[in-house]
Structure 1
Amino acid sequence: MPKLKLKTAKPKITGTAKVGKTLTAKKGKWTSSTSVSYQWYRNGKKISGATKATYKLKAADSGKKISVKATGKKTGYTTASKTSGKTKAVAKGTLSAAKPKISGSAKVGKTLKVKTGKWSPSSTKVSYQWKRNGKKISGAKKSSYKVKAADKGKRISVTVTGKASGYKTKSVTSGSTAVVKYPSAMYPSGWNCPSWAPIKGNASSMIYHVPGGAYYSRTNPEQCFASASAAKSAGYRASKR
């Protein structure tokens, strides 16, 4: 007995043709109880493993056109296939990003760090650019930044840029820090204290020395202070000479 002919319908694709989005195949009306399977195509070539009624667009689909073939099977009927029309060229996806946050103290000599938050897709690679009053700081392209004397009186922010194959590059900028100030004390390397913290503290004697004092030039400081009150708060006493 010859097999019967299936009633078929050309499938239609719904959804947005954009990387990261999901397309759905609508099979239309086939002969009742027909079992329908699917195969998705990229520019007319089979996409490996894409055999469900839905298909999530990948980076490899960017710039390509997607179609789907529906194949119907039913006992006593001849197997039949129908292919949809093609989508428009798949657009690049949009990265999902959190606003970065800066942690740390906005004081000269201190280190600021950025927390990028979650980016999607997880394959996104991020880069950094620290800024001083909104202007790029030359060479400041790591996830941390040591505050410099040049930053005093300015506000610091950081721009995080994400890149992923098949997605548009995206940049997100943090909020700004408080105005950068000098700390009341710092730990020097060597004999000299900076001009903004000229008072030398000697840890072995717990005595501080001010510029012009008898022992100032002979003191190798363990700490430098911006003021005598800061030195006293740290437990130091004034030199008698």
Structure 2
Amino acid sequence: MLLRTLRRTRPLLVTALALVLAGAAAPATAAVRAGSGDPAGLLQFTSAPSVAISGALQVGRTMTATVTRDSDPVADTYEYQWARLTPDDFGYLLQFIPGADTPRYEPTAGDLGSHLLVTVTAQREGFDSTFDSAQTQTVVAPGTFTSAPAVRVTGAPRVGRVVRAAVAAALPAADTTTYRWTRDGVTIAGATAATYRAGARDLGALLRVVATAHRSGYARVSAASVPVKVGLPAAVLAISAPATARAGTRTKVTLTRLARGEAWTLRMAGRVLARGKADASGAALARVRLPRAAGRRVLTLTGSYADRTATRRVKVTAR
């Protein structure tokens, strides 16, 4: 049932009028407390009960209507009805909330921006009913999440690879979760999915994802992941070395196709021969001493990742 009134400063009168239109007995005097116009033979309460509202006025929190003073005589039962009272261009819009007929009520998204009003009706055998109403002084505020969505980046953060936002759910559960990826703190245009493929522009940058939980009637909440550094893609490197070299001598080995400044390791038969970093052109020169034992050997070059590698066969001859 909907009702508008221009009496913005006396909302309890709205309740009385609404109850009259709903078929309940509303008093002509003493505001909304005393009954009148009762059917013949019914006794009258000498005083109505008093009711008060308590609780955090937010979506998702519980509001409680408490009878702070009993009717006289004391009622057999008390009946409750919650309503929302929303300011509009014409005064107030009053709407009873279906099913909200217990002492406790949890505001929903539909109550945002409205005052809540509760009416308690005293019932006693042989007596006409009487009632009291109370309303909140402020309007229902958005709910708040009790915990934000925890988020982290999973997958290998490397150029050409796909990483994913792994989210631990917020409480209460979100209706939807949105994503925003950043590179060195700057939002990446169009990167709003739960996954992201790192590109060449991301190389060496710190990648982070921000997850935002949304729920109807609630203030949204966001959480950011720990940033991860984007590394190089898989690649086939190159080794240039003599096909034949004498055992125990120093041999010049040229390494190419590395990234600028990339760390590298050169091994033979599991033994580290040299380590270093590539120059600005992605190349390096190493002079390595070959093993003393003659035979066919394999030089193995490994860059900053195990899948950035190269091999070269070398015949080691006796001195």
Instruction: Report the TM-score, using the length of structure 2 for normalisation.
Output: 0.56
The letter of the residue matching 2:312 is A
- 89-98 vs 137-146, which moves further: 89-98
The letter of the residue matching 1:70 is V
8 Å Cα contact 2:45-2:127 kept in structure 1? yes
Q: Which residue of 2 aligns with 1:171?
A: 222
1:54-133 to 2 correspondences below 5 Å? 54-95=104-145, 96-133=147-184
Indicate the RMSD between aligned Cα atoms, in angstroms: 2.7
Say if 1:99 and 1:157 are closer, same or farther in 2 by CA, change over 3 A: same
Q: Which residue of 1 aligns with 2:60?
A: 20
1:167-206 to 2 correspondences below 5 Å? 167-177=218-228, 179-185=229-235
Say if 1:196 and 1:129 are closer, same or farther in 2 by CA, change over 3 A: farther
The letter of the residue matching 2:218 is Y
Match of 1:39 among 81, 88, 98: 81
**How many angstroms does 1:239 deviate by?**
7.5
8 Å Cα contact 1:38-1:70 kept in structure 2? yes
Deviation by residue 1:15-59 (Cα, 9 ceiling, x = unmatched) = 111111110001122244531111000113210110111000100
Segments of 4+ moved more than 6 angstroms: 233-236
Q: Which residue of 2 aligns with 1:238?
A: 312
When Rg is computed on C-alpha atoms for both structures, the one with the higher figure is: 2
Matched, 1:3 2:34: no
Distance 2:192 2:313 in 1: 44
8 Å Cα contact 2:174-2:213 kept in structure 1? no
Q: Which residue of 1 aligns with 2:245?
A: none
Say if 1:140 and 1:239 are closer, same or farther in 2 by CA, change over 3 A: farther
Q: Please list every run of 5 or more consecutive structure 2 residues that lacks an aligned counterpart in the other structure.
A: 1-40, 86-93, 237-256, 260-298, 315-319
**How many angstroms does 1:86 deviate by?**
3.2
Matched, 1:229 2:294: no
Distance 1:85 1:56 in 2: 15
Q: Which has the higher strand share?
A: 2
The letter of the residue matching 1:111 is V
Q: Aligned with 1:84: secondary structure?
A: strand
Identical columns (%): 26
8 Å Cα contact 1:182-1:196 kept in structure 2? no
Between 1 and 2, higher relative CO (CA 8 Å, sep ≥ 6) is seen in: 1
Distance 2:159 2:212 in 1: 26
1:207-218 to 2 correspondences below 5 Å? none
Distance 2:224 2:52 in 1: 41
Q: Aligned with 1:60: secondary structure?
A: helix
Q: Aligned with 2:117: secondary structure?
A: strand
8 Å Cα contact 1:17-1:87 kept in structure 2? no
Distance 2:148 2:45 in 1: 52
Say if 1:87 and 1:116 are closer, same or farther in 2 by CA, change over 3 A: farther
**How many angstroms does 1:69 deviate by?**
0.5
Q: Please list every run of 5 or more consecutive structure 1 residues that lacks an aligned counterpart in the other structure.
A: 187-194, 198-226
8 Å Cα contact 2:63-2:104 kept in structure 1? yes
Q: Aligned with 1:93: secondary structure?
A: coil
Say if 1:131 and 1:185 are closer, same or farther in 2 by CA, change over 3 A: same
